[in-house]
């Protein structure tokens, strides 16, 4: 186990059970301890009323400015609808080889697509997106293997297709980066 922690910054209410699952995932995969910090960042200034969405780049910059020195990575967990200027929506955003990233539950809900509510599926998707974004933060790029968690996903169905795990190649690359 490495020393420097990966910090989960939770913005909004998340069940302890979910945070525990995510922390376990991260520790298992990235071999760093996980610390959870609740935060009450005011993200209203990043709200775009025209798009009725939050600017992920702005929030990411904010998280970066607040990231503690001792943390190896900081990832923000949100419940709001995120966008970047060129895209209509995103599930998450991270800086390749950077220290910070963020992920939102908002677009992972079945109800948004006219489907029956499924909390477990939503959490499973959330866990995959978090590992995906952390993968970018540790320097991994998108992978073409169908089941690899680093495969690019535009729709929730794409997320459902892949595993919550890296393919062999990405695993080896990650080990080199860790």
Binding site for another protein (CB under 8 A): 51, 55, 57, 83-90, 93, 95-96, 136, 141-142, 145, 152, 154-155, 167-169, 171-172
Q: Which is nearer to another protein, 5 or 151 (CB)?
A: 151
Q: Which is nearer to another protein, 79 or 142 (CB)?
A: 142
13 token code pair: 């209410």
Query: At closest approach, how far in Å is the CB of 117 from another protein?
Result: 24
133 catalytically annotated: yes
CA distances from 40 to 140, 168, 178 (A): 30, 38, 30
At 2 the three-state DSSP class reads coil
Query: At closest approach, how far in Å is the CB of 134 from another protein?
Result: 13
CA distances from 111 to 72, 91, 116, 139, 150 (A): 35, 15, 6, 33, 25
Nearest to 12 by CA among 54, 65, 52: 54
CB 63 within 8 A of CB 100: yes
Query: At closest approach, how far in Å is the CB of 26 from another protein?
Result: 19
140 token code pair: 């991994």
Q: Which of 35, 38, 69, 133 is catalytic?
A: 133
Q: Which is nearer to another protein, 20 or 144 (CB)?
A: 144
Q: Which is nearer to another protein, 36 or 89 (CB)?
A: 89
List, as one string, the DSSP characters of 79-130.
-SPEEETTEEEESEEE-TT-SEEEEESGGG-GGGGT----HHHHHHHHHHHH
Query: At closest approach, how far in Å is the CB of 51 from another protein?
Result: 8
Report the catalytic residues: 133
């Amino acid at each position: 186990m490495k020393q420097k922690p990966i910090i989960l910054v939770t913005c909004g209410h998340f069940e302890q059970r979910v945070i525990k699952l995510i922390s376990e995932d991260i520790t298992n995969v990235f071999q760093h301890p996980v610390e959870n910090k609740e935060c009450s960042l005011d993200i209203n200034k990043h709200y775009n009323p025209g798009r009725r969405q939050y600017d992920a780049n702005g929030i990411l910059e904010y998280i970066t400015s607040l990231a503690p020195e001792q943390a190896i990575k900081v990832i923000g967990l949100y419940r709001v609808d995120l966008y970047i200027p060129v895209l209509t929506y995103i599930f998450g955003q991270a800086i390749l080889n950077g220290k910070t990233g963020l992920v939102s539950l908002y677009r992972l809900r079945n109800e948004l697509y006219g489907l029956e509510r499924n909390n477990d599926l939503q959490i499973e998707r959330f866990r995959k997106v978090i590992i995906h974004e952390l993968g970018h933060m540790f320097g991994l790029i998108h992978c073409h293997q169908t089941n690899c968690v680093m495969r690019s996903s535009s729709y929730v169905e794409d997320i459902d297709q892949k595993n919550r795990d890296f393919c062999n190649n990405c695993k080896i690359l990650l080990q080199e980066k860790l």
